[in-house]
Amino acid sequence: MSVILKVLGVAAILAAPAMARAAGVEDRAPITPYKPAFAGQTRAPEQKLGVQFQTTTVAKGLKSPWGMTFLPDGRMLVTEKAGALRIVAKDGAVSEPVAGTPAVMSGGQGGLLDVAIDPAFAANRLVYLSFSEPQAGGKNNTAVARGKLVDGPQPRLDDLTVIYHQVPAIASPLHFGSRLAFARDGKLFITQGDRYVGEGQKQAQDLGSLVGKIVRLNADGSVPKDNPFVGQAGARPEIWSYGHRNIQAAAIHPQTGELWTVEYGPQGGDEINIARKGKNYGWATISYGVNYGPAKAPITGGETQRPGMEQPLYYWDPVIAPSGAILYTGALFPAWKGSLLISGMLPQGLPGGHITRVTVKNERVVGEERLPVEPNYWRDIRQGPDGAVYLLKGGPIGAIVKLTPK
């Protein structure tokens, strides 16, 4: 049994001895009556690797943080939903807000969201921010801006330019998606959501809309010539894949270079996908979840499979509320190499807030583990340059927590 010790505010966590059993980690009853399309698509066997680690709070004083990334010198950039971008020093000191950030629609799930640095940051100092962009008539949309970071006692972003606007704008405070991921070739993936409301759900299958899509852009916001729908009448050329509900967790696979995503379902149906060129991931036509509310009404016709629509590599029922993901490559935790680590939030009134580790072989999940970290509102997860795992605690009293070997 895991033992959790708290000494002087630092939680030291001793994991259980390595073991595996046929039962999965989930002991709650499924929300839905649906059956998986293939063996192992859900509730994989529990696989405890026996990794012992401790957690240390390395930064405090953040207000509703959403995303973080590392600068080459080991400092971190962290976004706060209300619109502030902060620089967090190695000693945990949090800067004053970086000047020059975009105006945001802050409310619900909206605000200043993810942050990424250009692959050539050392030369060009470019920082990318995703955010909910306010529009006329109470509407809003996902957008991405970039600017040049000017460091110093009063840091700022110069020449801020919005390089992407999701269209159409919709009056909704929800489902902006918004994770940013640079591929090996320098192309920028932007994950998005369906905006939650009915008109957005319908548009997730509409190639003439950018709602419910992953888009792929050049670093300057222009459209790559090899995007799947370039030149197709009635289709947006920015689209990489479609049929998505709300993706807040995404990472580039270190071996294949493909984009892996962990997507929110409704009640039930959080899912792992590999976002492939031109593919349709089914929302809102097929789903392993049901609508919110005690009636648990099926999504559209209650279908989980349809020809021409991709099946998730794996799904959860009930949900894990996936907010961030990494494919671990570090040396500090050799047993975790190749694992997909997923941060989960603690939705109001619902269990959750875990860090989930899954083992994937040949694009199938063969083992799952809930790391013994205190359940919390884990908003993001990153691998540091030191090989440690960093967790971003969201909410009004935010923090950065570091996992290192015990």
Strand positions, DSSP E, 232-275: 239-242, 247-252, 259-263, 270-275
What is the Cα Rg of the chain in Å? Answer: 20
- Give Cα 406 to chain centroid, integer Å: 27
Q: Which two tokens stand for residue 207?
A: 């190639």
175 is catalytic: yes
Give phi and psi for 389, each to the nearest 5.
-100, 130
Q: 68's torsion region: left (phi>0), alpha (psi -120 to 50) or beta?
A: beta
Q: Under a CB-based contact definition with an 8 Å cutoff, are residues 92 and 58 in contact? A: yes
Cα–Cα distance between 159 and 145 in angstroms, integer? 10
DSSP state of 351: -
Query: How far is the CA of 15 from the CAs of 50, 98, 113, 332, in angstroms?
Result: 6, 39, 33, 16
Residue 42 CA neighbour count, 13 Å, CB half: 24
3-state secondary structure at position 200: helix
CA dist 336 and 332 (Å) reads: 9
- Distances, alpha carbon 367 to alpha carbons 19, 40, 222, 380, in Å: 11, 9, 40, 22
Using CA atoms, how far apart are residues 366 and 155, in angstroms rounded to an integer? Answer: 46
CA distance 45 to 97: 45
Q: 165, 175, 253, 354: which is the annotated catalytic residue?
A: 175
Encoded tokens for 100: 């020059």
| Residue pair 117/85 in contact by the 8 Å Cβ criterion | no
Catalytic residues: 175
